[in-house]
Each structure stands twice: as C-alpha cells, then as structure tokens.
C-alpha cells in the first residue's frame, strides 16, 4: 500500500488575489480541461450586537486538518472525473474584504468541476478542525459559528 501524499493547504494570512490569478493562468496549457470552478471565501464585515467585524483570526489542528483534507480530496476524486483540485485556507489574521479560502477544481466538463468544487467547500466547512475568531473594531472577539 502506498502512503498518501499530504498536501499543505494552509497559507499565512490572506490568500493573495495574484496567487489566485497565477493558479488560473498555469492551467492554460492543459488542453484536456474544459471547465474550472472556483470558490473564493471572503471575510465579511458583519455587524454583530452593534459591533463590526474587522477580521477573522484562523487557527487549526493542522496535522488533523491536513489528514482529513487528504481523505476529502481522495473522496472527491473518486466521485468526480476531475483533472485537478487546489485548496488553500488562511491561518492567522485575515482582514474584512480579504480572501480566506480558495478552492479550484478542473475537469473536462463543467458539471463535474462545479459539483466537486461545491462539495469540497461544504466538506471543508463542516469537517475540518479550523476555527475562526471574529475580531471587532474595539479589539473584542468571539468565536465564529458557521451556519
């Protein structure tokens, strides 16, 4: 049995939009790809109890998250005919308006890319041990609850 390759999905701080653009550009030579689906999660400036969120500080049990992400990746590739998948999630502080999650799936046809991207995002949000501490303008905070 071969050992599964664990890919690091974490980046320190926000996901740089130039990195997103570069990731897309690198796929223009892959002629078997007919569709890409991209999800970009962005920190919102929600108002909670009359206080505005200015950012989220993300933390994780990284080893467990990466192991679980490997399983998610394998399950998605087994279910959908993907050419590739890229996932990048922030750790540390991310300001409101910045990107905190980048999921990019590619396949020969759009339905597989779209469905795989959506399912991957849902699995990341529901099962990976990643926590967000919402920081307010007065420097108080609360732990984020995903809905």
Strand partners, 88: 102
| Per-residue confidence (pLDDT) for residue 41, from 0 to 100 | 98
Using pLDDT thresholds of 50, 70 and 90, give the confidence band for residue 30. confident
What is the rounded CA–CA span in Å between residue 140 and residue 134? 8
- What are the C-alpha distances in Å from 46 to residues 5, 56, 103, 132, 134? 37, 11, 23, 14, 9
- In this prediction, what percent of the chain has a pLDDT beyond 70? 96
Q: Give the start-to-end residue ranges of the domains of the chain.
A: 10-143
Collapse the DSSP code of 61 into the 3-class scheme (helix H, G, I; strand E, B; otherwise coil) and give the result: coil
Residue 1 has pLDDT above 50, yes or no: no
Structure confidence by residue, pLDDT tens digits, 35-49: 999 999 999 999 999
Cα–Cα–Cα angle for 15, 21, 23, rounded to 5 degrees: 85
Cα 91 from Cα 147, distance rounded (Å): 20
**For the whole model, what pTM was predicted?**
0.93
The CATH number of the domain covering residues in 10-143: 3.90.1170.40
Residues 58-77, mean pLDDT to the nearest whole number: 97
**pLDDT at residue 134, rounded to an integer:** 96
């Amino acid at each position: 049995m071969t050992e599964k390759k664990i890919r690091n999905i974490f980046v320190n701080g926000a996901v740089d939009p130039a990195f997103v653009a570069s990731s897309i550009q690198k796929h223009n030579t892959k002629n078997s790809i007919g569709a890409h689906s991209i999800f970009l999660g962005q920190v919102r400036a929600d108002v909670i109890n009359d206080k505005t969120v200015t950012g989220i500080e993300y933390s994780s049990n990284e080893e467990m998250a990466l192991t679980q992400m490997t399983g998610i990746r394998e399950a998605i590739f087994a279910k959908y005919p993907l050419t590739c998948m890229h996932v990048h999630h922030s750790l540390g502080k991310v300001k409101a308006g910045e990107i905190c999650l980048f999921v990019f799936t590619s396949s020969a046809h759009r339905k597989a890319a779209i469905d795989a991207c959506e399912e991957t995002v849902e699995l990341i949000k529901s099962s990976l041990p990643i926590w967000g501490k919402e920081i307010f303008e007065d420097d108080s905070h609360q732990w984020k609850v995903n809905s």
